[in-house]
Structure 1
Amino acid sequence: MDALFEIKGMTCSACSSRLEKVINNMDGVNHASVNLATESLAVNFDKESTSVTEIIKSVEMSGFEATEKIEGTEVALPISGMTCSACSSRLERVLNATDGIVKAGVSLPGESATIKFNSAIISLRQIRQIIKDIGFEAGEIQSAQDAQKNFETRRKQNEAKLALMKKKLIYALTFTVPLLIITMGHMVGMPLPDFISPHHSPLGFALIQLFLTMPVLWFGKDFYIHGFPNLMRGTPNMDSLIAVGTSAAVVYSLWNLIEIVLGVDPQARAMDLYFESAATIITLILLGKFQEGRAKSRTSEAIEKLMDLTPAKAILLENGEQISTPIEEIGPGDNILIRPGDRVSADGTVYDGHSEIDESMLTGESMPVSKSEGDAVAGGTVNTGGGALKVRVKNVGENTVLSRIIKLVQDAQGSKAPISSLADTVSFYFVPTVMTIAVLSGLSWYFFSAEPFSFALRIFISVMVIACPCAMGLATPTAIMVGTGRGAQLGVLVKSGEALETAGKINTMIFDKTGTLTYGQPELVDTFVASGQNGEELLALAASAEKQSEHPLARAVLRAAEKTGISLPETTSFNAVAGLGIATKTGGHSMLLGNQEYLNRNFVGGLDDKNARDAASSFESAGQSPLYIAKDGKLAGIMAIADKIKKEAPATIKKLHALGVKTVMLTGDNEKVARTIAKSAGIDEVVAQVMPDRKAEVVNREKAQGRKVAMIGDGINDAPALASADLGIAMGTGIDVAIESGDIVLMKGDLSGVLTALALSRATVRNIKQNLFWAFAFNVLGIPVAAGALYIFGGPTLSPMFAAAAMSLSSVTVVTNALRLKFFTIEN
């Protein structure tokens, strides 16, 4: 069983790594993955051995808060029969106490209830019955909370959180700046009033520092509220480091303040206070956290832009009237009007009108697409032409292409890449190790050097403060969030962090031919008619026989017959043999249509005719697929069907070769046709006359040679091969894209999207490595300096305030570097 939880209280990668390890060690848990960037926990577990409740308890024992996230099961129901707040309160209490209901909120003024429930435990019908048993009535569902509303809620929460962080930062700065002026000003000759001068009034000097420091500590109280409890549990995190370090500075300073009050060498003690260090550390970390939060909020801009594409209202066509209607009230089967300049309100099919539609938000293709009667349109696209379109709605809400894309990108942004495992492992042990180093460094300087206690304390604080592992935890997820979002804008949908990382390692690319290397729209280009046969009759028989077939060659024959307008005889029986051909009873004749092998198996005569052989050979040499047609046991003719190679194919294959990628083409066509097409495209290797179920064997053969293999196909009959490959890439066709197929989906069906996918992968992985380098570099270089390693050789020490600035800078640097991926473009 799979479950997803929202986690609160994580502040750094040490938190996420520790929590992930705790949950993975639970009995019954098969796999657990924590994502710091999205503050979520995904768990696969055996419900016979453990439960959601037990997992939540384990999370809470680790010092965090967990709430189960259940997708698609939040409903709003109108409630009748409530007359006062006692009614709403009672209903809310009963619903929240019901097993399977995660959360329920009842509004008396709105006469409604919003209920989030686990459909595996309780059904909506049962919830209705509970409401009825209490004495109320539940109406029909008003609306479900879809991904867009969830995202909007989260965005508002983040905005409120940032606003609060900004307020705390401003207040902290208000007290810290004068504190620094008072404590540091006299060092640069800045005069101070006698009543707060360290030389004239040591007590006043100390008290004003305490007065200015205490509010700053209050604004940073969350560090202490979370840090010390985690330390007591034996699970310290970033907050623990800050809490212990600043508390040490404050306690030491308070002791010196007491000695000043007692008259113990007041002037010396006044010059040995660290109030300003504690206040400055808190303020700098608040500043860093605010900048980090603001930068992180920009990592989901791609989704925000997609979210903003759906218009709030649609123009409903009803009884000859145009009615402006909220999009939530539009349903399948409704007719809507899309005026020039309007966004398409929902997925549907044009039944009247002609115009141009900008689909760049879906496919990344900048050129508008012509739309007329019978063409499909997608919600969120824009009518950029001069005509109005009348559209019959097909999909709304979470079923639209746009909503599915948003969901896919959100899932990808919450996933992990294998490269993140190193940072997760290091982060788990990092904080305890740092605390140990800080204690040992402080004690060593105190006991084994001539330096005073204040120096040892400063070393201890500096090590504690500089070693925050936040940057390590942000290194991978921020890059994945920005990278996958950018991919969606470019028409490349990446389903997971693992797929994004794998794409950059591919060294063998296997292509399906039809619909991938070619346009997938074969046309009848030539016909050989056997002696004694009639060409028009042959086309009519072939078209009728192929009418029930879904094969691309069959559709080519049908289109050719439709163009001539000939009438088709009746087909009374139909039998297809995958990869070979069909047998039918058409117009009173026994018909066989397929490749030469199929006709040979059925002992068809006339295949050895020289004219037939020459025609077939000529077709194959031109890269045209021969379709053999037999009537009543004898060859009646051969149709030449050609599928044009995509114009971008040769250039794409050439660039793949330049990247060191081997290319292979799979096709059910015969060897001669396959090699002709492969030569035109520049493909390295051809595997012809391969059945759909054998494509996976070719993939596994390449993998057995130790190669990283990507399979690219249409996502339908190539499904086994896509699943077998290290990376499955599905070719989309604009708004008809099958986003469920493959690890990566190329939205616009353009083969050059492969290059974009590979380049985006390499750019993202490179960005992650840069992030990890800077994250580790800050700590690997900073900790020894903070511990006094340079001071031993006559170098400087690291002030705790500079340590705090460096720590904050490391996180901001990592997030800012990840944001560079927003501007990724592939070089031509």
Structure 2
Amino acid sequence: MKTSANIETLSFPVLGMTCAACAGSVESMIGAQPGVDKAEVNYATQSVKVVYHPDQVQPPTLQQAVQSIGYDLILDTTTGKEKQEEVQRTNYTALKKRMIAAAILTIPVVIIGMFFMNIPFANYYMLCLSTPVVFWFGKNFFINAFKQARHGRANMDTLVALSTGIAFLFSLFNTFYPEFWHRRGLHPHVYFEAAAVVIVFIMLGKLLEERAKSNTSSAIKKLVGLQPKSVMMITDSGEKEIPVSDVQIGDRLLVRSGEKIPVDGEIYDGSSFVDESMITGEPVAASKSKGDKVFAGTINQKGSFRFTAEKVGGETMLGQIIKMVQDAQGSKAPVQKLVDKIAGIFVPVVIGIALFTLATWVMVGSENAFTQGLLAMVTVLVIACPCALGLATPTAIMVGIGKGAESGILIKDAEALELGYKVNAVVLDKTGTLTQGKPEVTDLIWQEGLKIDKKTLSGILLALEQQSEHPLAAAITAHLKANDVQPIRVEQFESLTGKGVYGRSNGQTYWAGSYKILKEEQISISKELQIKVAALQEQAKTVIYFAEQSGVLAIAAIADQIKESSAKAVQELKSRGIAVYMLTGDTAQTAAAVAAQAGITDYQADVLPADKAEFVKLLQSQGKVVAMVGDGINDSHALAQADVSIAMGKGSDIAIDVAKITLVSSDLMQIPKALRLSKLTVRTIRQNLFWAFIYNLIGIPIAAGILYPFNGFLLNPMIAGAAMALSSVSVVSNSLRLKFSQLTLNN
């Protein structure tokens, strides 16, 4: 094959995959095409990433190759995900209708088969009711089994098709030719109810899986929605509204109060405060003036400004975040469903045992050897029916998700529930995760010996801060109002950009703001207050000064308070041997203060969104299973990259959408509970699989007739069907025990 330096990498949504084996088929088929260097199928996101040489192979060729094995690719990379979501929603609705219809037909079959099998024409009633269940509503099992067989593979569908198909055909023969068995002194049992019940139970498991797929994350869609559709461009002839997609580098743009910033650029006129929490995660809006950079998707709060576009489209900071989230969601290895992997071995083994059983009876049996061998073979296939195996995982997952919901832990991806117990490293965002996520006044300290009473001064301070545009003013206003302070009229109010505010009351001038005001107005501050200011700043608190010309009257300390449960949660995680890290876009001083309060020794400050994801990758490269806990848009890339992603219920919609687990109360003490729930659920799944296989390990040899040479016992297929049903009941019952488990914090 000729080589080419021209290489492209594209991701395509895949349609029609129902299991990990399907993913393997798609991956191997695309990877085998000339001109394809690498193909990686992500079963979790139902997509394939292809590295190929465009001068040797084109996407339509890849699509044709995939279609030849029963699947499909969506080549439209712009709206492909939306089309895939639409198909998945349609599939889920159709499967739900089929399952309900199948269940309605199956219930009377079970009632007749279990209690009224001796009524006239009972077998014919069951035949009429079960035929559409097996061959119409359950036809996908047979179609998928055939697809797998064409490529030498086997999965759950193969097991379902084999067992239900054999049971149905055997029952059909017994219904129309009962004398075949009567002549041999045997009763012709039928298993229509077993075939129908298996189809319905396995369809239920498929429905749970399809529901997870149909709720595909819309995080990318929401991130794209952060960008405004149009923008005001400044031209020589005036202002003109244009679509954002038409903005070019160098264009001059206007952003008014309350609008989203459309592209990245630099301010050349005006000033404002901009909410940049999507980048930094910090709750306090950043002051912006001439020469400062602004970023797409951030929100202009108060004031307007003009800026020059420097990065547009996918090159903006928001565009990069979108790309990083897409890459992280698509970079995980395909989900290898445990049951499908087991089925890949189990199916050929069962088929081999069934055929070996028939051959052995024919070779060593005496009279009626073929009849008894055929009966034994059918019994093996019936008793090996995968009903319990198919229910082992979905029932435990379903109960585990319900148990989590009761405890305020919303789990929207079974993979997170299955993986949580392995977590040995937890990465915590600071703002909104460890802390409350909003600035609050922690201290209001007054100068001793004031001539004017504090109530009057508090009213003047409230009046000043109520009119201020600075984000921190809202914290002081809320604090004073909470203490029943009433505003006192202030005249000649003026905002001093980057410094604070001032106004006059009763002939006296008052200031509120940063230390710059004290310096400019040469206002003194007592040594007592200076000592307290230094102590507050050591705790990474922001200090606001309230003063008159004679000196500072009071200082207000503002900080994003750490949650009451944060330190306890960190200690609990550490006691379980889990390493805890903190990442924040805030300053080193603030990071150190919060880390100390939370009991965290490993932390990083001044971290950008991409840096958070890189840190998660670094831990993963060291062999750690990483849980990322965050609440903001700036955490979305790291959440998508992590093995287990956890969002705060009070966080941004995008963080919640990307994360696989959401803590409704935003209480970090829920994290140890979520990991405990994972451990209990996985233990239940293993118990279910154990009992399903023990049942087969004991039942299959007995069904094959291993006891016949010793005591003449040959298992009746009817008893085998009852044993199969009992195994399913035991699996469901064991899963329901999970509901009564305690998510206590001990191991």
Cα distance change, pair 212–629 in 1 and its aligned pair in 2 (3 A):
closer
Residue by residue over 1:451-510, the C-alpha shift from the partner in whole angstroms, topping out at 9 and shown as x without a partner, is 733332232122222222343333333433443344345432323222222322222333
Match 1:241 to one of 149, 163, 166 = 163
| Residue matched to 2:30 | 27
2:475 matches 1:556: yes
8 Å Cα contact 1:5-1:42 kept in structure 2: yes
| Residue matched to 1:774 | 691
Aligned mates of 1:787, 1:479 — CA distance in 2: 31
Residue by residue over 1:304-346, the C-alpha shift from the partner in whole angstroms, topping out at 9 and shown as x without a partner, is xxxxxxxxxxxxxxxxxxxxxxxxxxxxxxxxxxxxxxxxxxx
2:412 matches 1:502: no
| Residue matched to 1:270 | 183
8 Å Cα contact 1:541-1:586 kept in structure 2: no
Match 2:704 to one of 787, 794, 804 = 787
Residue by residue over 1:718-751, the C-alpha shift from the partner in whole angstroms, topping out at 9 and shown as x without a partner, is 4454445433322122998963253322222223
Aligned mates of 1:728, 1:805 — CA distance in 2: 43
Match 1:437 to one of 353, 359, 363 = 353
Aligned mates of 1:729, 1:607 — CA distance in 2: 49
Match 1:809 to one of 726, 736, 743 = 726
Aligned mates of 2:174, 2:383 — CA distance in 1: 20
8 Å Cα contact 1:625-1:640 kept in structure 2: yes
| Residue matched to 1:484 | 401
2:529 matches 1:619: no
Using structure 1 for the length normalisation, give the TM-score.
0.54
Q: How many matched pairs?
A: 562
| Residue matched to 1:48 | 59
1:740 aligned counterpart, secondary structure: helix
Give the AA of the match of 2:188.
F
Aligned mates of 2:145, 2:96 — CA distance in 1: 32
8 Å Cα contact 2:167-2:195 kept in structure 1: no
Aligned mates of 1:17, 1:174 — CA distance in 2: 40
Residue by residue over 1:357-398, the C-alpha shift from the partner in whole angstroms, topping out at 9 and shown as x without a partner, is xxxxxxxxxxxxxxxxxxxxxxxxxxxxxxxxxxxxxxxxxx
1:826 aligned counterpart, secondary structure: coil
| Residue matched to 1:377 | none
Give the AA of the match of 1:523.
V
| Residue matched to 1:160 | 101
Match 2:193 to one of 279, 283, 303 = 283
2:588 matches 1:685: no
Aligned mates of 2:142, 2:97 — CA distance in 1: 30
Cα distance change, pair 247–607 in 1 and its aligned pair in 2 (3 A):
farther
Match 2:645 to one of 728, 747, 767 = 728
8 Å Cα contact 2:591-2:604 kept in structure 1: yes
8 Å Cα contact 2:645-2:660 kept in structure 1: yes
Aligned mates of 1:420, 1:156 — CA distance in 2: 28
The offset of 1:625, in angstroms, is 1.6
Aligned mates of 2:12, 2:574 — CA distance in 1: 41
Give the AA of the match of 1:439.
L
Correspondence 1:60-139 to 2 at 5 A:
none
| Residue matched to 1:472 | 389
| Residue matched to 1:103 | none
Aligned mates of 2:717, 2:592 — CA distance in 1: 70
Cα distance change, pair 5–167 in 1 and its aligned pair in 2 (3 A):
farther
Give the AA of the match of 2:41.
H
Aligned mates of 2:433, 2:460 — CA distance in 1: 30
Cα distance change, pair 44–723 in 1 and its aligned pair in 2 (3 A):
closer
| Residue matched to 1:752 | 669
The offset of 1:166, in angstroms, is 1.4
The offset of 1:301, in angstroms, is 13
8 Å Cα contact 1:238-1:431 kept in structure 2: no
Give the AA of the match of 2:443.
V
8 Å Cα contact 1:513-1:667 kept in structure 2: yes
2:452 matches 1:526: no
Give the AA of the match of 2:340.
D
Residue by residue over 1:683-714, the C-alpha shift from the partner in whole angstroms, topping out at 9 and shown as x without a partner, is 24253754455555654554454333323232
2:446 matches 1:446: no
8 Å Cα contact 1:431-1:468 kept in structure 2: no
Aligned mates of 1:145, 1:22 — CA distance in 2: 21
Give the AA of the match of 1:443.
A
| Residue matched to 2:337 | 421
2:564 aligned counterpart, secondary structure: coil
2:59 aligned counterpart, secondary structure: coil
| Residue matched to 2:656 | 739
Q: CA RMSD in A?
A: 5.8
8 Å Cα contact 1:17-1:428 kept in structure 2: no
Aligned mates of 2:335, 2:734 — CA distance in 1: 17
Aligned mates of 1:546, 1:781 — CA distance in 2: 78
The offset of 1:557, in angstroms, is 4.2
Correspondence 1:167-566 to 2 at 5 A:
167-173=108-114, 176-177=117-118, 213=123, 216-221=126-131, 223=134, 234=149, 237-244=159-166, 247=169, 257=179, 270-273=183-186, 275-276=188-189, 279=190, 281-286=191-196, 421-448=337-364, 452-521=369-438, 522-526=440-444, 547-549=469-471, 555-557=474-476, 559=478, 565=487
The offset of 1:160, in angstroms, is 3.4
Cα distance change, pair 287–742 in 1 and its aligned pair in 2 (3 A):
closer
2:117 aligned counterpart, secondary structure: helix
Cα distance change, pair 587–688 in 1 and its aligned pair in 2 (3 A):
farther
Aligned mates of 1:805, 1:614 — CA distance in 2: 82
Percent identity for Structure 1 against Structure 2: 31
Give structure 1 stretches of 5+ with no counterpart: 8-14, 35-40, 61-65, 74-99, 101-117, 122-143, 180-210, 261-268, 303-415, 574-582
2:645 aligned counterpart, secondary structure: strand
The offset of 1:629, in angstroms, is 7.2
8 Å Cα contact 2:461-2:546 kept in structure 1: no
